Amino acid sequence: MSKAEKHTEREIVEGCVKNQRYFQELLYRQHFPVMLRMCMRYANDRDVALEILNGGFLRVFQKLHTYSFNGSLEGWIRRVIFHSLSDYFRQNNRQGNFLELEGWDTPTKSSALGNLYLEDLMGLVDRLPDLTQKVFKLYAIEGYTHAEIGEMLKMSEGTSKWYLSMARKELKTLLNSNNERNYAG
């Protein structure tokens, strides 16, 4: 039995809120591998990913008192760390590298992503059909694998990959049309 299994999620969160190092370490160790994988999806450099992740966990500990036990703790942590990723790339003027939409297809006009902020990109994601949007967010933002997504959404791994491909194509189209509107107006 691991240390984390000896304590409930509520005990760990409450211990972290009380600034008890033991519980902070438990929470960090429990969620580190998944969150590092998410950060590595965006930062190809492990040192940069660790910098973002550790800054994200600092935010997690600072904001953990706001977690209300509605929804999963892991999902809440993912959102906080995702905001750290977003902030890092915005501060370093690298938003174009933040959300890779189509690495194997023809590139989007280079200025398209440069003219958008995270909120704009998420607005485009929100325009996707429901299931396509859900698969995209789970894979590209939250860092789940296609096998995990398939299990969650009761679909095959291949179907999850298909939805992701459709999301990427639609987002590329939306990005190009958004870029053309910016230059026409």
Are residues 127 and 90 part of one domain? no
Are residues 86 and 129 part of one domain? no
Sign of CA dihedral 123, 126, 128, 134: positive
Are residues 87 and 43 part of one domain? yes
pLDDT, position 66: 92
At position 154, the amino acid (one-letter code) is K
Are residues 111 and 178 part of one domain? yes
Are residues 109 and 90 part of one domain? no
Sign of CA dihedral 87, 150, 131, 106: positive
Are residues 84 and 47 part of one domain? yes
Look up the CATH number of the domain holding residue 121.
Answer: 1.10.10.10
pLDDT, position 70: 84
Are residues 79 and 44 part of one domain? yes
Domain that holds residue 62: 4-96
Are residues 109 and 70 part of one domain? no
121-131 in b/e burial notation, b at 16+ Cβ within 10 A? beebbeebeee
pLDDT per residue rounded down to tens, the chain (185 residues): 555 568 999 999 999 999 999 999 999 999 999 999 888 888 878 899 999 999 999 999 999 999 988 888 988 999 899 888 888 887 775 444 445 443 433 344 444 444 445 566 777 888 889 988 888 888 877 777 888 888 888 999 889 889 988 988 888 888 777 656 555 55
What DSSP designation does 99 have? Answer: S
CA distance 155 to 146: 10
- The number of folded domains in the chain is 2
Are residues 121 and 85 part of one domain? no
pLDDT, position 95: 44
Inter-residue contact 160 to 139 (CB < 8 Å):
yes
CA distance 150 to 158: 8
CA distance 18 to 84: 23
Are residues 144 and 70 part of one domain? no
Are residues 152 and 71 part of one domain? no
pLDDT, position 91: 79
Look up the CATH number of the domain holding residue 70.
Answer: 1.10.1740.10
